[in-house]
Amino acid sequence: IKRVTTHSIQEMKNRGEKISCLTAYDFSMGGIVDSAGVEIILVGDSASNVMAGHETTLPITLDQMIYHAASVVRAVKRALVVVDLPFGSYQGNSEEALRSAIRIMKESGAHAVKLEGGHEIKESITRILSAGVPVMGHLGLTPQSIYKFGTYSVRAKEEEEAQKLLDDARLLDEIGCFAVVLEKIPATLTKTVSESISIPTIGIGAGAHADGQILVLHDLLGINKEFKPRFLRRYADLHTVMHEAIAHYVQDVRSQSFPNEKESY
Ligand code: KIV
Ligand code: NA
């Protein structure tokens, strides 16, 4: 199989083909997501929520991100694997940012890293890029800044924040990021940004004009029952499927219908 690269992602935008992206955090899911044809698999710091049960993405550590990323990489044959630099591993110190990115690349075998923010982390991004590590940007609702925002609602609805986001997107394009995630912003702003920069925009809750889309795998599969923001489309109800399968197993063990003779040695 031909591997997806940062270059083939760019060519997709140039040809007007939409890019599909999903998160994954482990070997089993990574393999399924990859074989289904997704271009980019993000080992997101949403693992902090989805895998570890934290309320925010802030607690997950670099070591934990590397463990998730290495597990995913072992399963992936085609997709480009991008890994989130976790909170505290890159902000405000570009040398630490580079060290963190290098640890991810060396210890997980992933292909790129993602950082949240624009001009305020320019030095960190530049330093990582000059080491030959591809960088994906992330603007709009950046969950590592949740305590600054105070809410997970839509960002950049006002002119000032929208203009700042557009400036940041242009900066990320100029300094050499290969793509940028736009999270929870108005669809019209996504359109403006996508037409103003040459690199692909990957939207989540950002409307139809992004060059690609990304969702959290467990949300798409309906594994979390409670999380249902407007932007989410659920493609399965795995919560019910899994719950019923497991309840059935419990029932069979109790009634001694499992294991039967054929299932015994
Ligand atoms: O961590 C994550 O899952 C993400 C995507 C939602 C973009 O950053
Ligand atoms: Na993230």
The length of the chain is 265
Compute the Cα dihedral for 231, 15, 197, 41 and give only its sign.
positive
Helix (H, G, I), strand (E, B) or coil at 224: coil
Give the domain ranges of the chain: 6-234, 237-265
Does the domain at 6-234 match CATH 3.20.20.60? Answer given as yes
CA 95 to ligand 1 center in whole angstroms: 24
Encode pLDDT of 182-229 as tens digits: 999 999 999 999 999 999 999 999 999 999 999 999 999 999 888 889
| Ligand 1 neighbours (beta carbon < 6 A) | 23, 42, 44-46, 84, 181, 183, 204, 214, 216
Encode pLDDT of 42-88 as tens digits: 999 999 999 999 999 999 999 999 999 999 999 999 999 999 999 99
Encode pLDDT of 126-157 as tens digits: 999 999 999 999 999 999 999 999 999 999 99
Which residue carries 């609602």 as its tokens? 153
Encode pLDDT of 157-167 as tens digits: 999 999 999 99
Catalytically annotated residues: 183
What is the interface pTM, i.e. ipTM, of the complex?
A: 0.99
**Ligand 1: nearest atom to the Cα of 214:** 7
> Residue 105 half-sphere exposure, CB side, CA atoms within 13 Å?
17
Q: What are phi and psi of 159, to 5 degrees?
A: -55, -45
Name residue 182's beta-bridge partners.
139, 203
Cα(235)–Cα(221) distance, integer angstroms: 6
- CB–CB of 34/41 below 8 Å? yes
> In terms of Cα–Cα distance, which of 214, 174, 210, 213 is closest to 193?
210
Closest ligand to the CA of 216: 1
- CA dist 75 → 9, 13, 30, 108, 237 (Å): 20, 26, 6, 12, 24
Q: Which residue's CA lies nearest to atom 5 of ligand 1? A: 44
Q: Which residue's CA lies nearest to atom 4 of ligand 1? A: 44
Cα(124)–Cα(106) distance, integer angstroms: 18
